[in-house]
Every structure is written in structure tokens, then in C-alpha cells.
Structure 1
Amino acid sequence: MQYYLDFINTKEVQKSTIFPSLKCDEDEAKILQYMAKALLNSEVEIMVLSLVENLFGLKGEETLAYLPKIKNLLELGWVSQSNFSRPTNTLLLELLNENIYLTHSFLRLLEDGTLEVALPKANPYQDHLEYLKDQFLKIDLLQQINHLKLSYKLDSPSLSRIQYRLNTLEQQIKYRLKLTQTPFEIVSLIKDAELDSKEQTLFFALLKEEYSGGEGNLREMNALIELISEDEYDKIKNRSLLDEKSNLIEKNLVDYDEILNPFGGIARTFFINEEILQKIIYPNKKKKKSKNTLTNLIKEQETFEILEPKKDLKDIVLAPSTREVLESLLKQMDPKVISQLKAWGVKERKSGIESKIIFYGSAGTGKTLTALALAKSLKKQILNFDCSKILSMYVGESEKNVRKIFDSYREITQKSKSEPILLLDEADQFLSARSTGGGGADKMHNQMQNIFLEQIEKFDGILIATTNLLETLDSAFSRRFNYKIEFKRPTQEQRAKLWELHLPKNASYSMDKKELVKKLSSYDLSGGQISLVVKNTAYKVATRDNPTFSLEDFSKEIIKERDGSFDGEKSMGFVV
């Protein structure tokens, strides 16, 4: 207790051993000395007004001059308020009748004479758990620093002490890794992914959350960004470290869920990819030869293909009414909404997210692309079946093989333990009105549709069927689909956006590009047609000695497309 006794017994407080560490003036040090002496009389909390009156012999208005000194001690972290208010939010007059007490940091300084914490001697890491222990301590310190920044001055001893400890710990981690002969799986993983210091901090924060059972708040975007940001500008800049094209997401180290918040926006919660997590937790576990992943299972069959979502719903050009319906649909698929429906008894408790949807509209209006974007918003993959092949594939065995589509889907989802969206593309053959003719082909078609109706009735999950011809839709199918969403041909304003998107970015044009877009958008084309016209025009212009695009070049291809004088490849809608 030598530092405590020295501090309370030194008549000129500025000559006490710990005074240089206090970073305050002489009067403020006297206040701390007074409160330290009071501990011997069991006075832990002292009212500010009484303290100033007794210590400095002041009364009335004269006491007000000392309130800034009390507030500075609060901001330095040497004293704290009984009501636990943040010093930065406290008004001076509020302090007058407030009780204050000495903080743990100051009592430690009195006891040890320093706030520096001696870290253990640096030795090689014995295993990955020792390494993770240090990394998780680093995350704890970063969280403490963020908390103290809200309450104390940036140069306060409490904040400086933790910052010093953090810097020392970071140096110790580097040194211990150098001493460690055999690298751990997690160290190799970070090196292979080329994560920078901020990305590593985000990764270890999420890993800490996994080890603690998700009891903290470090899965949320804002909490993660605060760990690596110095100020508000830094927070905005660092958000790119967790977007779709970030290193952590693209290399499948981290993934996220999107949840609609009460204000209508989308909130993201992040987590470590399951495969990566298993590698870290069980570094010595032998890898299995094969996994029943959705990708592996699809390779073993010929019924479906996997379509990987790449575009967000916000990136697709849609009529306002169509977008409104789709956004409403997404909200209804929110897990919180599903839980509420189950609680009301409207939905069975064992069932998951389910919906049967028809996208209808002319070719090239974005039906398939929107299905992909919807899957991306729901964090799901898509199993695609091209219905245009159904007749050629299944003549003579329609009943058996239509069932096979849905049986195969159920088998794949059970084995992969996933729930991909089933996309029936160009489903006109299934959905059109049943024939009244008595021929063999008509009977086969009707039989096929009856089986299809039966399978849709039993289907549990999300099914999207696309068609160009809603007017021929059989009424029996109409009743079995929750949503029938129309995809209209783009307006002139939307066509202008599409031309701007598809026109080559670094090309030469014979006229002003904005004027060119204005003229081209006057042609009534779908998004798919615009994409195809640009592609065919580009191939021709690229063969010239002076490859410059003109209005005439595009006009020729537009006429060919509208007259149907050439067949183009299928286009899956359009994006902005």
C-alpha cells in the first residue's frame, strides 16, 4: 500500500509518486486525495457539493467554478457517478448534487503505482486454442476501447491503459507465432485468404461469437464495423469489408443472413461458414471422401441444373407494381412472419417457408432473372428444370416422369439438407388449359397435367413457374398458386436504362452517347432483345479497322430482331 499511503500523506500533492500518471491539475489531484483519505472513514460515495465546500472552504456560487474539474476527473476515468451516467452526457449543474466515487482504475493506480498490465512471458503456442485465446482477448480489448470512447477523453489514462495492453498483445501474438514451429489450420487459412488486419479482426470477432454460443452482438454489421473504425467516416469506408464482393464473403470464409427489420429495411447478421468452422474446431479430423452437398448431388443426375443467384432484386428493371408485389412477397417469407403465422395456427408448425408463384409476361422481360434475384434475397440456391424439354423427353411415360421431377427434388433436398427453390422455366406446357380433344396426344397431355396438379398440391417449399401465356392458364392451376406476378414490357424510360447498361463502356460512338440512348430507347424492345441486339452489333463492329458504333449499326440489328430474321440465344431478362 506504499503508493496509497504516499498519496494521502503527501502535503503537496503534486510531489506524490503517482501524480504524473494522473494527467490532471493540482486542484483535481487534491479532490482525488480527499476522496482517497475518506476511504479510511468508510466514505465510499461523496456528494460533489459537500466535497467542494469541505475541501476548498467555499459556499454558494463559488462552488460552481469547481464543477468543470469534477467533470474532467469523470472523463479521465478516475471517478464515476452513482447514477452510471456517461460523463460526456452530464451537464455541469447536474453534478452539483451528484454522488461520486473512485473508480477501479484509480484504486488500482493507488495500489500498484501503475496501470500497465504485465503480460505472460512469450512462449510458442502449444495448440490452436492458445492462439484463439489471445485473439479473443484482443476482441475483448477492442470492445472495451469502443465503450470507453463513448464516455472518456481519448487521452484518458483508462483508455490509454487498454490501448497499451492491446498494442502489447498484438506484438506478443506475432512473436509467439514466429516461435511456433508447426502452423495451425487457422493460421494457414488466414494466410491463404490473404486477409489484412481489419479482415482478420472481423473474422476473429465472428469466430469468438461462434465459440461463445452467439450470446454477444458481434454478428451485427454495425457492431463489427465499430471494432475496426476510428470515426464515422471510417465506419462508412469499412462497410465494404462485409459487402457481397468483399474478400471474406467471396472466399466463403463468412456468410450472412438477411432479415427484414421492423422499419422495412434489411438487416444482415454474419457468421463463419460451417465448413470453415469445422476445419478450425477439428483441425485433425480426417476429411470425408464425399459430401452430400447440393452441388455434388446435382452432378449425379440429369433432371436439374443449379442456377447461382448473382443479381439483387434492386438491380433489376421492373414495373413499380411488379416490384411492390415482390417486396411484399419477401416480407411474407421473413422467418419472424412465418413464426407468427405458426403461432396463430394459420401455418403448420413443422412446415418451413413455402410459396407457389407464377411469373408471366412476354419473353425477355426478366422472369428468370427475377427468380434468381429472389433466391439471392432468401439466401437460397435454385434448381432449374427446363419445361420446354418435357414432351421430347417423356413421350409415352408422361405420368411416371412428371412425378420424377418432384420425387428427384425431394430426394435431393433430403440428402443435401437444404431447401433450394424449384424453378420450372417455360412451364406453358404444364399450365395451359386442358384439351377437350379425344386424340392420344391430348389424353397424354391431360394426364400429364393431372399428375402435375397433384404434385403441386403436395409440394412443400418455394416453387416458381415462368410462362409467356397467362391467358391460356388452366383455372385449376390458378387456384393452386399463391402469387401470379406480371412482367410487363419495359417503358421507354426503362429501355433507356437498359441501353445504358448494355452499351459497351469503353467503346467509341459516332454521336453523343446520351443522344444515342434516347433514340434507341424509342424502339419497343424487351430487355432480352436489347441485350441480344447489343451483342450482335458488337460482334460486327469489332471486325472493322475503325471499330466505332453508330445509330445505323444498331438500327439494322433492331430491324432483324423485330422481323425475326435470325434466331438469338435465350436471354434471361435484364438488369440495371
Structure 2
Amino acid sequence: MQDFREFLTMSVEKTKIFKELKCSKNEGLILQELCKNYVNANPSVNTSSLLSTAFKNKNYEFLDYLQDVKNLIARGFIVQSSGFLKAINSNKIQNSKLSLLQNDLSLSEYFLEFLENKPRISLDKTEAYTDFLEYLKDEFTRIEFYEKLSFMKSNFYNIELKKEIANFEKYIKTRLKKSKFYNVLNAIFKEYALEKKEQIIFIALLKEEYTLSDENSSNRELNSLLSLISENELDLRQNKKFLDEGSKLIDNGLIEGDEFFSNFGQINKSFFISDDILQRIINVRGKQSAKIKLENAIKEQDIFELIEPSTDIKDVIMPENTQILLANILKQQDKKVLERLNSWGIKTNKNIEAKIIFYGPAGTGKTMSALSIAKSMKKAVLSFDCSKILSKWVGESEQNVRKIFDTYKHVCNSCKQSPILLLNEADQFLSTRISGGSGSDKMHNQMQNIFLEQIERFNGVLIATTNFLESFDSAFSRRFDYKIEFKKPEFKDRLKMWQKFLPKNVEFDEEFNLKTLANYELSGAQILMVIKNTALRAAVSKEGKFLMQDFLDSIRKELDSSFDKSKIVGF
């Protein structure tokens, strides 16, 4: 406030504020006098009184400075009001200078912000918006720019602000191009083919909703909205078509208008976002926020990997009986099925509850199927690699087991969501307990007992994957609702996998035979690996052609390797 104090007390031309204003000395003196009145609790001053105080009153010389008043109004530094009645529309600068004498003058909000030396908006960020709300905040800032511009109708003074608006709009577009969230605003604008001026009006009204402004807010009024998109009086009259009956905003039910009587007895109109459209925007915000909450909760711990599934259960090639079983699990979401289960006392809530074991050789699609189930349930996945659980420190493995489930519950409670818990490579949890008496055996058994206890209490969807089920402890069998075996695919399924995984628009040699390739007993992961290794050979060859012999060579190498292990080495 030091600069402001100097502006109040020193010769106006010597102050820092005057130099930043880039105005004439007379305009500076008028502003200085208004500022003195403002700090002395007199925010509004009659034009005649103001000029006679700031300048000489002899022979009405102050009338010579009416043009300076008009300049300041044009620049948006001061606003005029018709005395005790009502503020004059800031967009309407009266052509007659003498008519200003009957009005009161006061400092504009724009000028008060300037005095407070608010920091300029930084345009340094170039990364994507994290969510819809962060983007919406910038859109509301954009509206504030247009509100400031509505004060400035003189081209001489508003050029700089127009440049700022253009730069800020370019900044928003740059960040939006990199963003991946669902932009419900953009969807609405495209759906109803709204042009830029209509979009500005809509966002301005949305800003009023989000800031919880009073329904009588002047920012909702017809002229205030039109001033955001109008350069002058003629432009304002022409732009009334955007808020008249028959306009896209009104006819499509995007906004609604209410008429009321002003203090002068004139009919005025205020506008609001319609309830249906507002709910559409708010509901998307809720989903967006839920996703962000889950991501932030995962960042706070180092146990789980958050996975957003990309494949549906229909995308997975598997035996028909397995498809039917998984489809029945998903049918718990069906309203009719839920009603029946509830009436029979089998289920007491609407959430899917299932504890599932996927078992079978590596590369047979266990993890992919788990992720696809999650996609079909519209749930995220919290994945944990169970091979990390063992610790060389006695007692720590048991604590880690509890930590898995405690952290999962904490994430669910904090985010009000129930993602699928995926326990990969859960062999050591599911094996038969050891009867030996060594300390390590007792520790292993204790860890399994804790796991059994946590599984018993678990609510939601849990999927455990394992390569071995020969040593499966019977105590676990009672805790899991479904035990689904994943075998190496049969010929017809292998044929489907080859057809699906092979790249399109490539050239094969004359000896290529898909059925011959499908005769080899490979898992889905092995087929994919063979295709990748053969593609590499084709890519470095002179002809760039896929050769049958290259496929056969890659298959033999795969079959000779230890592909039943959890990790496969290859391209």
C-alpha cells in the first residue's frame, strides 16, 4: 500500500501509480481526488463537486475537464451513477458531457484491483489440466477478463486487454489439447453448435452458479451479459438475438430467463443455467473428482499399483464355459438378479461381492481376464504383487499381509469407492500350510492364517492369480466363491488368437499357413511373443516380408524355453 499512500499525498506526477496509469495529468488529478474520497468513506462523489475541488472553480473553469472524466469512464477506471437512484449501465457512455454533471462518480472494481497491485496471471504452465475443475477455474478467469473489457469501450485503451484475453484463450487451448479428462462443456457446445459469443454467455452464467451468487446478481442481467460480447451500443443491440426467444441458448433449454421490474419500473431480465444442464455438468464433476481422489490416495502409499482397465471381457479369447461363468458373475449387476438374490436372503446390498481364484500356467490370460472383468464392472484395479510379501525379518511378513488389506480399506473409505483388489502370484498364500516345527515354517503358517482371516472379512471383489494349485490348502477353498482354471488354449482358440494378434496390412510369403501355426500348443502370451519376434526379423530383412520359416523358428525357440515361468524373455 506504500504506492497508494504516495498517490494520495504526493504531487500526482511524481507517483509510481501515475506513471503506470499512462494517463494525462488532469486524469490523474481526478483519480487522486476520487481516491481521497474513497479512503474517507465517501465512495461516490458528484461530478461538479469533484471537478471544482480538483481544479479551479473560478468562472466554472472545471467544465473544461469533463472530457477527462469521459476518458476515464471509457477506460473503465471510474463508473457513473445517477445519484440516489441506480447505477447507470457501465456500457453506456453518455454522448453529452454536460449530462455527466448530474451524475455521481466512483472508482471501478477494475481500478481498485489495479491499486491493490494484484499479480498478473502466469501463463507459464503448459502441462495438461489435471481435471475438469482446474480447467473450469481458468474459464471463469477468462470471463473476468471480459468483464473488465466491458468497462473499456475506447479502442485506444482496450487494445492491451484484448491482447491479454487472446493470449489467455490460446493458453487454455494449449493445455486442453494435452488434457484427457471428459470436457462436458466442450461436449455441450458441440452438441448445440454454440458459437463463441454464446459460449461466453453460458460460461458467465455457470460462473454465477459455481460462486453461489445471489439470484438477483447484476451479472445475470440481460445488459451485463450482452456487455461481455459487445463493443458498443450498436453491437449490444445486435447481440440481443443471442438471448431472445428463438435463440439456441433459450430454445434448447440451456438457459432460462426471469423478468422483473427495475427501480425505475422498467422490465428487466435475468438468466440462469437450466437445472438439467447444470446437473449434467455437476455429475461429470463428481465422477471426475472421484477418479482424482483415488489417484491421490494411491500416491500416498507404496503398496498398490493403480490400473485403469482398457479391455472388456468380450475382448478376451477363452473357453466357452469360462466365458459363461464370468458372465454369470457380472450378472450380479443386473437389477432383476439383484432383486431375486435379495428376496432370497442371499445378498443384502447392491454391490458385487466375489472372491475369485484364477489358476493355470503362465501366459494363459489370468491377469488380462481380471482387468477385463474390472472394465465390465466399471471399476479400477488395485494390483499387488504377492511375490514382494516375504521378508527376511521375522514377523514383518505377517505385518505386510495386514498392511495390504488395511491400506485397501483406507483407500476405499477415503475415496468412497470399491476398486477390485488383484493379488498377482499369490502362490505362497494359497499353498498347504507346513507341519514342520522350524521358526520359518511357523512364520509362514502364521502369515497364511492372517491371510485367511483377512479373506474371511473382505467385502468387495478380490481376484487372486496363481500358477500352481496342486498344493492348494483346503481352508482357502471355503473362502473363495469361484476357482477358475485357465488352461493352454485349444486349437480353435489358438486360431482366433493368431488371427487377432497378427498385424494387419503386412505381406506374408506363399508358404504361410495360419492353421499350421495354430497346431502348435502355445499359450496366448507365447503366440504374441512369436509374432513380435517374427515381426522384428521381417522389419530388418531386405523384403520386409513375414516368412513362414521365421514363424516356425520362433515357435521352436519358445517351446524349448522355460515359458512356464512367470517371466518370459524376448522381444
TM-score (norm 2): 0.50
* Pair 1:178-2:177 in alignment: no
SS at structure 2 position matched to 1:509:
coil
* Pair 1:304-2:301 in alignment: no
Does the 8 A contact of 2:383 with 2:422 survive in 1? yes
RMSD value, Cα: 4.0
* Pair 1:518-2:515 in alignment: yes
Does the 8 A contact of 1:502 with 1:534 survive in 2? yes
| Pairs within 5 Å for 1:125-524 | 178=197, 184=203, 274-276=283-285, 293-349=293-349, 352-392=351-391, 396-511=395-510, 515-524=512-521
Shift of 1:294: 0.8
**Equivalent residue for 1:547?**
544
Shift of 1:275: 3.9
Q: Distance in 2 between matches of 1:486 and 1:207?
A: 56
Q: Distance in 2 between matches of 1:566 and 1:463?
A: 27
Q: Distance in 1 between matches of 2:383 and 2:520?
A: 32
SS at structure 1 position matched to 2:535:
helix
1:268-299 Cα deviation digits (max 9, x unpaired): xxx767344799xxxxxxxx9x9961112112
Write the letter of the residue equivalent to 2:203. Answer: F
Does the 8 A contact of 2:303 with 2:384 survive in 1? yes
Shift of 1:338: 3.1
Shift of 1:562: 1.3
Does the 8 A contact of 1:431 with 1:477 survive in 2? yes
Q: Distance in 2 between matches of 1:569 and 1:384?
A: 16
Q: Distance in 2 between matches of 1:549 and 1:508?
A: 6
Does the 8 A contact of 1:297 with 1:412 survive in 2? yes
SS at structure 1 position matched to 2:533:
helix
Shift of 1:385: 0.6
Shift of 1:206: 11
SS at structure 2 position matched to 1:345:
coil
1:248-280 Cα deviation digits (max 9, x unpaired): xxxxx99xxxxxxxxxxxxxxxx767344799x
Shift of 1:379: 0.8
Segments of 5+ residues of structure 2 without an aligned counterpart are 1-139, 141-188, 208-247, 257-272
1:146-194 Cα deviation digits (max 9, x unpaired): xxxxxxxxxxxxxxxxxxxxxxxx9xx9899637865617999xxxxxx
Q: Distance in 2 between matches of 1:272 and 1:393?
A: 52
Q: 1:482 and 1:557, CA in 2 relative to 1: closer, same or farther beyond 3 A?
A: same
Shift of 1:463: 0.5
Aligned residues: 323
* Pair 1:535-2:532 in alignment: yes
Q: Distance in 1 between matches of 2:483 and 2:563?
A: 32
Q: Distance in 2 between matches of 1:343 and 1:207?
A: 44
Q: Distance in 2 between matches of 1:414 and 1:175?
A: 41
Considering Cα pairs closer than 8 Å and 6+ residues apart, tell me whether 1 or 2 has the greater RCO: 1
SS at structure 1 position matched to 2:465:
strand
Write the letter of the residue equivalent to 1:507. Answer: V
**Equivalent residue for 1:30?**
none
Q: 1:211 and 1:467, CA in 2 relative to 1: closer, same or farther beyond 3 A?
A: farther
Does the 8 A contact of 2:362 with 2:565 survive in 1? no
Does the 8 A contact of 1:292 with 1:415 survive in 2? no
Shift of 1:545: 2.5
Q: Distance in 2 between matches of 1:406 and 1:566?
A: 32
SS at structure 1 position matched to 2:390:
helix
Does the 8 A contact of 2:386 with 2:424 survive in 1? yes
Q: 1:310 and 1:441, CA in 2 relative to 1: closer, same or farther beyond 3 A?
A: same
SS at structure 1 position matched to 2:498:
helix
SS at structure 2 position matched to 1:554:
helix
Does the 8 A contact of 1:432 with 1:472 survive in 2? yes
SS at structure 2 position matched to 1:293:
helix
Does the 8 A contact of 2:332 with 2:352 survive in 1? no
Q: Distance in 2 between matches of 1:447 and 1:206?
A: 62
SS at structure 2 position matched to 1:184:
helix
Q: Distance in 2 between matches of 1:407 and 1:184?
A: 43
Q: Distance in 2 between matches of 1:509 and 1:558?
A: 17
Shift of 1:560: 1.5
- Segment drifting more, 291-300 vs 457-466: 291-300
Shift of 1:371: 0.9
Shift of 1:207: 12
Q: Distance in 2 between matches of 1:334 and 1:183?
A: 38
Q: 1:174 and 1:444, CA in 2 relative to 1: closer, same or farther beyond 3 A?
A: closer
SS at structure 2 position matched to 1:464:
strand
1:461-488 Cα deviation digits (max 9, x unpaired): 1101111212221100001111111212
Q: Distance in 1 between matches of 2:516 and 2:254?
A: 52
Shift of 1:441: 2.2
Does the 8 A contact of 2:431 with 2:472 survive in 1? yes
Q: Distance in 2 between matches of 1:423 and 1:180?
A: 44
SS at structure 1 position matched to 2:541:
coil
Shift of 1:341: 2.8
Shift of 1:412: 0.4
Does the 8 A contact of 1:207 with 1:272 survive in 2? no
Shift of 1:533: 1.5
Shift of 1:314: 1.4
Q: Distance in 1 between matches of 2:510 and 2:419?
A: 47
Does the 8 A contact of 2:538 with 2:547 survive in 1? no
Does the 8 A contact of 1:338 with 1:353 survive in 2? no
**Equivalent residue for 2:34?**
none
Q: Distance in 1 between matches of 2:291 and 2:466?
A: 35
Q: Distance in 1 between matches of 2:400 and 2:365?
A: 29
Shift of 1:331: 1.3
Does the 8 A contact of 2:391 with 2:397 survive in 1? no
SS at structure 1 position matched to 2:499:
helix
1:318-342 Cα deviation digits (max 9, x unpaired): 1111111111111134354334433
Q: Distance in 2 between matches of 1:212 and 1:274?
A: 12
**Equivalent residue for 1:46?**
none
What percentage of residue pairs aligned between the two structures are identical?
51
TM-score (norm 1): 0.50
Larger radius of gyration: 2
SS at structure 2 position matched to 1:301:
coil
